[in-house]
Amino acid sequence: MKHARTPLTGLLALGAALAMPLAFAQEPATQAPPAGAAQPPAAEGQVTWADLDTDGNGNLSKQEAGAHSALSTVFDQADTDGDGQLTPDEYRAFAASQGAGPTGEN
């Protein structure tokens, strides 16, 4: 019975990976909002790219991605150039290749 759970775990990880593209496909902020400007909150339980990008360089390191279990699971697949930094473009391409990419609406 132990081996019967392995495919289920894989399907759960894949499902989580396919469910997160809309949250991560956002462009990272290029400028800080003006002082006093309210930032719109992310939907409850939803993590944005900016939330994970703790050093603010616009890319996610493997360590930063480790804060999101589903993203850390697919990090190596999504980091197509293998430099240890996941760019928004690499993530969008990965999400699109998984059939869950952004719909082109901006």
Q: Which domain holds residue 71?
A: 1-24+46-106
Establish if 70 belongs to a structural domain.
yes
| Residue 103 in this model has a pLDDT that exceeds 70 | no
Is 29 inside a domain boundary? no
Question: Is the pLDDT assigned to residue 106 strictly greater than 50?
Answer: no
pLDDT band, very low/low/confident/very high, at 36 (cuts 50, 70, 90) = very low
Residue 38 lies in a domain: no
Cα 18 from Cα 73, distance rounded (Å): 12
Tell whether 41 is covered by a domain.
no
Distance from C-alpha of 96 to C-alpha of 19, rounded to nearest angstrom? 12
The 10s digit of each residue's pLDDT in 49-61 is 999 999 999 999 9
The verdict on residue 30 lying in a domain is no
Kindly state whether residue 33 falls inside one of the protein's structural domains.
no
Q: Which amino acid is at 21?
A: P
**Is 95:103 a contact under the CB 8 Å cutoff?**
no
- pLDDT score recorded for residue 47: 86
Please count the structural domains in the chain: 1
CATH number at residue 75: 1.10.238
Q: Is position 37 within any domain?
A: no
Q: How many helices (H) and strands (E) does the chain have?
A: 6, 2
Task: Tell me, yes or no, whether 77 lies in a domain.
Answer: yes
pLDDT confidence of residue 100 = 62
Whole-model pTM?
A: 0.55
